[in-house]
Amino acid sequence: MISETIQRTAAPLRQEVVATLRRAIVTSEYSPGERLVETALCDKFSVSRTVVREALRQLESERLVVTVPNKGPEVATLTPTEARSLYEVRGALESLAGSLFAERATEAQRGQLVARLFDIRRAQSAGGVQQLLAAKDSYYEVLLAGAGNKEISGMLRQINARTQVLRTLSTSSPGRSPHMLSELTDITTSAAITRDPEAARRACEVHASNAAEAALIAMESTPRSGHP
């Protein structure tokens, strides 16, 4: 009975640490290759080493953290090959989501997608990269909700967490923003207005392919963080 009570109490705490640490990695508070020292994390979150270790194991299963022999856990670093593979999967999933949205989305969801596109335009005019990424995230939340497939949502969430740093680099790369807006406009038109599944699929493919190219170029031109 006592152990069950402890587990029920510890589980929400562990989940909170996982969520907070995941967010810190995604927002680059911890850089790729940076060591995650257990004692420092214990002090930071005011939790036991057991909770920290369980949180790190969870993030390792999500491939946001890796354990390096003789060094310990550190933030995972994507190789160009891994990044390209992730963007290929993202393109396939987003293309399916766009096609399903055109087929399944309600009238309200169609209107919401158009509204989120205008939010992206406003964020682009404001010039903040993080604000623009947040607006894009909201756009995709609507797109995925309208697609009506939770499996796609779950897989894309994990992919986007692993490529968040690259998304920031690609979105802020010179000349990318206008093309991105044009691509999202094509997606919105075909998915929410003309409701053409095939056109929506193609528009999503183009957007994902161009985003991948921009991310990989930015990746190659940016020095790697962490240990040599």
pLDDT digits (tens, 9 = 90+) for 118-159: 999 999 888 778 888 889 999 999 999 999 999 999 999 888
Specify the range with the lowest mean pLDDT, choosing from 51-55, 61-65, 186-190, 196-200. 61-65
pLDDT digits (tens, 9 = 90+) for 30-79: 888 999 999 999 999 899 999 999 999 999 988 899 999 989 999 988 88
pLDDT at 3 over 50: no
pLDDT digits (tens, 9 = 90+) for 211-227: 999 888 888 876 554 43
Q: What would the mean pLDDT of 10-27 be, rounded to a whole number?
A: 83
pLDDT at 9 over 80: no
Q: Is the pTM of this model over 0.85?
A: no
CA angle 213, 164, 197 (to 5 degrees): 60
Query: Across the chain, what does the average pLDDT equal?
Result: 87
At 206, the pLDDT band (50, 70, 90 cuts) reads very high
At 11, the pLDDT band (50, 70, 90 cuts) reads low
At 174, the pLDDT band (50, 70, 90 cuts) reads confident
